Amino acid sequence: MVYPDRNLRFNYSQFNERVDDLAKGLLALGLKKGDHIGIWARNIPDWLTFFFAASKIGAVLVTVNTAYRSHELAYVVKQSDMKALAIIDGFRNVDYVQTVYDIVPELKTQQRGNLNSKEFPELNHVIYIGQEKHRGMYNTRELLLLGKHGSDGELAKIKASTTADDVANMQYTSGTTGFPKGVMLTHKNILNNGYYIGEKQKFTDQDRLCLPVPLFHCFGIVLGVLAALSHGATLVMLETFDPLLVLAAVQKEKCTALYGVPTMFIAELNHPMFDMFDLSSLRTGIMAGSPCPIETMKKVISDMHCDEITIAYGLTEASPVMTQTSTDDTIERRVSTVGIAMPQIEVKVVDPDTGEKLGPGQQGEICCRGYNIMKGYYKMPEKTAETIDKDGWLHSGDLGTMDEYGYYKITGRIKDMIIRGGENIYPREIEEFLYTIDGVRDAQVIGIPDDKYGEIVGAFVMIQEGSDLSEEDIRDYSMQKIAKYKVPKHVFIVDEYPMTASGKIQKFKLRKMATELLEKKQKEEQI
């Protein structure tokens, strides 16, 4: 594992030793098999130390989106029954330490290790990832020292008691119900998926993967870390995405593979210093997370030397990849399809209304079955049953087709979902949040087409009588409480919504209205 911006390097055995020390440190705090340990951090070196240390003691690492704010953090800590939360200082303009103190004020007055929070009764520990000391928190230095003196025998005993079907990782996906759902992924789910993803790229121990995507997503941890781990490859890590740092890392470390969502590749290709970098070491990689523009894909192949770039498709509930193109697929297939079903996984297209399996070229819902299907949503059995049918098929909510050669194309969505630059956003979740704002009577959230992100969030809001709430007020309040990528870029205050005769709101008309209103506004600004 290499961090090229600070020349930090761990080989496998050095890293394994650090992981063991942290694992024993976590045991010393009283954390045990089955406990939920949260991590709220950008791609810092010890993110992975926590991931593997938690796995070694049979605990579950609960990944927290770095863009979250107090409203979302409080929900995840409580819903996941989190026993410990590991945090960094902050990210962008969010102070993580202060946010945690705001939602868990008892940290400042109670003894470390004896936290008794009224709001979060399960939470026993907050750990600061770094050297600094913060009231009520342990730091990683202390845990590593505790671990150095811990029992190797105890760790070995616990490792031996874990099984492939134990949950290793829990990731929260935005919920159609308005509440994010904790997807429970097992060791078997994610390690096998990572292995086959690496196979599709012909990874060996000679490969060097530049990974600028966040670790809290499956894209980072499964497609990236576990694909590399299962092939003995090198990880070239970046704490956060910066197109210039990516180009520099590829050149400096002679990376052979590069990952990103389409917006990342576009930012790299369009960087004014792009031509100054030698990217000739690149061979493969993955573009995923949102639909990949064909022209961008072609430029990545021709201008970035990624002749064997692949596209992957899936969702968190499928660990996540269910289809992927191969390095030796034709360029046509690699730019226009999402590949074929992964090994050991069944994929089919069904009629969304009848469940009947459809033939080549017929559009329907993409479904998947195999070792990769999640264990379920944490404490949400009804939602799990809605997503995974009685025969074990996961229903993706995505529309697609399969051709006569088994190649899949994604054509649309059944689910009412917005994909902004690779981030899945469910309108219902943002609507539920907007209802908490004083003065908001009703809210409807839609996706608006956007050249840079694919889609951005728009909100049509009805205001309560007597309220002087403005569009700016709604945006400003949202910026303080929810992740920036979920904040409506455009807010439209309206008196009514377009409805069907039966009283159902016609969101497709709202989308059209938003596009027309923005075009009108642009013309007025030009005048």
CATH number, residue 443: 3.30.300.30
Tokens of 332: 């046509």
Phi-psi region for residue 131, left (φ > 0), alpha (ψ -120 to 50) or beta?
A: alpha
User: Do residues 405 and 430 both lie within one domain?
Assistant: no
pLDDT level of residue 178 (50, 70, 90 thresholds): low
**What is the count of structural domains for the chain?**
3
Residue 201 lies in a domain: yes
Dihedral sign, Cα of residue 106, residue 111, residue 117, residue 120: positive
Residues 261 and 211 in one domain: yes
Residue 502 has pLDDT above 60, yes or no: no
CB-based burial, 173-188: b 16+ in 10 Å, e otherwise: bbbbeebbbbbbbbbb
Looking up tokens 């403005």 gives 470
In Å, how far are 175, 427, 441 from 504, measured between CA atoms? Answer: 21, 16, 17
pLDDT-derived band of residue 414, with 50, 70 and 90 as boundaries?
A: confident
| Coil vs helix vs strand at 202 | coil
pLDDT, tens digit (0-9, with 9 covering 90-100), for 325-365: 999 999 889 888 999 999 999 999 999 889 999 999 999 99
Do the domain assignments include residue 177?
A: no
Q: Which residues span the domain enclosing 465?
A: 418-526
- Asked if residue 116 and residue 71 are part of one domain, the reply reads yes
Q: 250 with 328, same domain?
A: yes
Residue 466 CB neighbours (<10 A)? 6
Residue that the structure tokens 């021709």 belong to: 302
Residues 427, 399, single domain; the answer is no
pTM: 0.85
Residue 449 has pLDDT above 70, yes or no: yes
- The string of pLDDT tens digits covering residues 194-245 is 999 999 999 999 999 999 999 999 999 999 999 999 999 999 999 999 999 9
Question: Which residue from 357, 377, 375 is spatially nearest to 365, judged by alpha carbons?
Answer: 357
Is residue 514 in some structural domain?
A: yes
> pLDDT at residue 187 above 60?
yes
State pLDDT tens for residues 31-42. 999 999 999 999
Same domain for 311 and 352, yes or no, is: yes
Q: Looking at the structure, do residues 409 and 456 belong to the same domain, yes or no?
A: no
In the predicted model, is pLDDT for residue 316 greater than 90? yes
Banded pLDDT at 280 (limits 50, 70, 90)? very high
Tell me the CATH number at 120.
Answer: 3.40.50.980
From 195-204, 388-397, 492-501, the region with the lowest mean pLDDT: 492-501
Q: Which burial class, exposed, middle or buried, applies to 231 when counting CB atoms under 10 A from its CB (0-12, 13-18, 19+)? A: buried
Q: Are residues 396 and 428 in the same domain?
A: no
Q: Which of 103, 132, 162 is the last residue of a domain?
A: 162
- The pLDDT-based confidence of 175 (bands split at 50, 70, 90) is low
Same domain flag for 300 and 258: yes
Mark which of 413, 446, 464 sits at the end of a domain. 413
Q: Are both 16 and 134 inside the same structural domain?
A: yes
3-state class (DSSP) for residue 6: coil
Across the chain, what does the average pLDDT equal? 93
- The confidence score (pLDDT) of residue 206 equals 98
Residue 370: pLDDT above 60? yes
Q: Give the containing element (helix H, strand E) for 159.
A: helix 152-161
Mean pLDDT of 287-297: 80
How much of the chain, in percent, has pLDDT values that exceed 90?
A: 80
Q: Which pLDDT belongs to residue 177?
A: 53
Sign of CA dihedral 220, 222, 227, 229: positive
**Any idea which of 116-130, 217-231, 250-264, 438-452 has the lowest mean pLDDT?**
438-452
Domain membership flag for residue 249: yes
Query: Tell me, what's the pLDDT at 503?
Result: 61
Q: Is the dihedral of CA 18, 137, 180, 260 positive or negative?
A: negative
